[in-house]
Amino acid sequence: MIKETHKILGDDSIAVTATAVRVPVFDSHSESINVELKKPFNLDELKDALSKFPGIVVQDDPSKNIYPLAREAAGSDKVYVGRIRRDFSIENGVNLWVVSDNIRKGAATNTIQIAEELL
């Protein structure tokens, strides 16, 4: 996961820590992602920016049990993001729960979307 992140972002200097956990689901990956941003941020503005990004669906209202689930991502080309909150362990830190169908988004659909961008 570390090498793949460096390859995708084209930057080996990005500090990445990763742990893979295998759970019994048919398809979909779920990830808890911690990110340190360069500048201070407003959480509502960050959520709004994510919701406007093509291919991302923000599902973020834990008080109403609204957050991404693997079973809902199955069969979809979208990336679902929720549980968006400050990570107080690092400066300008944010934690996200991210779910996607790894067969569609991680392989086939991603390849098509990258090709469309290049052409």
pTM higher than 0.95 for the full model? no
Whole-angstrom distance, CA of residue 56 vs CA of residue 79: 5
What are the residues whose beta carbons fall under 8 Å from the beta carbon of 104, sequence distance 6 or more?
A: 75, 76, 77
Burial code (b: 16+ CB inside 10 Å, e: under 16) for 20-30 equals: eeeeeeeebbb
Residue 60: predicted pLDDT: 96
* String of DSSP letters for 45-104: HHHHHHHHSTTEEE--BGGGTBS--HHHHTT-S-EEEEEEEEETTSTTEEEEEEEE-TTI
Whole-angstrom distance, CA of residue 57 vs CA of residue 82: 9
Domains of the chain, first to last = 26-118 (3.30.360.10)
Q: Residue 96, Cβ neighbours under 10 Å: how many?
A: 21
> Which residues, in sequence order, are bridge partners of residue 86?
94
Q: Residue 60, Cβ neighbours under 10 Å: how many?
A: 20
Question: Average pLDDT per run of 10 along the chain, which is 119 residues long?
Answer: 80 81 79 90 95 93 93 89 94 92 70 60
Residue 84: predicted pLDDT: 96
* Size (the chain), residues: 119
Residue 59: predicted pLDDT: 97
